Copies of this chain bind each other. A is one copy, B any other.
């Protein structure tokens, strides 16, 4: 008997719990109760998990969307994880390490099947780690990952979309597939995690570039050219780091589709438009537009630049480098078009 815990009650975690809660009642060999671990916080002075359990809705992060009654929230981590065999980790990337320490203590040595829904990547000066690598290191498991062109609110509203499930273990992939795949949320599996996760992180840098192009008011020709270069650099960077990446990664939801969707809208795109229009820095705009919350696109652009500089490869990635320079070194935004270079026949 499998039992599922969704670790995290934000926008995407609540949506995941909703999907799983709907699917699980049709599955044999699954406990139909799904727990959400909600780090203690309040809504209108009441504990958020109490509100969720009473109203079957998460008014703070997914207002207006009903959760099935078999989903229950708790801010008691031990209770959330009690008996769990399958764990959906969906916390903000900066909280992953502390969450893993806490999970480790509460699972009493059980080996769980884990899937990461975290979009993010840890780039240090001389090292890159993806969320599944961090989980693998901490808990000695081989986690799966779910990543795609997924805006939680659209999915929670049952708009048809796709997502990519990356896994190396067929039996676990099949279980996660049965929990996530539905009429409106179509899951496609690939035998990979690293490439999928890097796509999810790098595409944010490209969507910043697309926002810069839109901020400059160019036509669709020029914007499409920027996306093209971005897609090429993503592919090049990922192959450089991991030559065994299966090519489907770039042709599934986690690749091209996520890139296109993020470059048409979304917060990384929007902040770049404002950067061009106001001449302010990312830091200023983050504090004005997001109350100081850090956006992943600018952050990844910076970390990636530091990493590439350390490796001596900034020139191989002109778009990534230029996004950093425009965002943090006051380079003229119109220099984004310098990445469109001619190429003679070889």
Q: A-side interface residues toward B, CB under 8 Å? A: 149-151, 154-155, 159-162, 165, 167, 170, 173-174, 177, 181, 186-191, 218-225, 227-228, 231-232, 235, 251-253, 255-258, 260-261, 264-265, 337, 340-346
Contacts and interface: CB of A to CB of B under 8 A. Distances in A.
Contact of A149 (B187, B190, B220, B232): B220
Closest 9 CB pairs of A and B: A161-B221, A173-B345, A189-B345, A224-B261, A228-B257, A188-B343, A224-B257, A220-B261, A154-B219
A220 B345 contact: no
A227 B258 CA distance: 11
Given A224-B258, A224-B261, A261-B221, A177 B344 contact: yes
Contact of A151 (B160, B221, B344): B221
B343 A218 contact: no
B231 A340 contact: no
A167 B225 contact: no
Given A221-B155, A225-B161, A181 B342 contact: yes
A171 to B, nearest CB: 9
Kindly name the residue among A159, A170, A341 whose own CB sees the greatest number of chain B CB atoms within 10 A: A159
Contact of A159 (B177, B190, B222, B346): B222
5 contacts: A149-B224, A151-B221, A155-B221, A189-B343, A224-B256
Kindly name the residue among A218, A225, A255, A345 whose own CB sees the greatest number of chain B CB atoms within 10 A: A345
